[in-house]
Amino acid sequence: MVYLDTSVIVAYYCPETLSRQVQDLLREQIKPALSLLTEVELASAVAKKVRSNELSRLDGNRILAKFVSHVDAGLFRVIAVENHHWQLARSWISLFSTPLRTLDALHLAIVSDKELQLVTSDISFFQSAGMLDIDALLID
Domain at 76, CATH number: 3.40.50.1010
What is the number of domains present in the chain? 1
Residue 78's pLDDT is: 97
Residue 83's pLDDT is: 97
Residue 87's pLDDT is: 98
Q: Which residues contact 78 (CB under 8 A, 6 or more apart)?
A: 33, 34, 35, 36, 71
Q: Residue 120: which domain range?
A: 2-138
**Planar angle of CA 102, 103, 108, nearest 5 degrees:** 100
> Quick one: average pLDDT of 64-85?
97
Residue 1's pLDDT is: 94
Residue 86's pLDDT is: 97
Cβ of 97: how many Cβ atoms within 10 Å? 11
Q: Say how far apart CA 50 and CA 117 lie, in whole Å.
A: 31
3-54 pLDDT, tens digit per residue, is 999 999 999 999 999 999 999 999 999 999 999 899 999 999 999 999 999 9
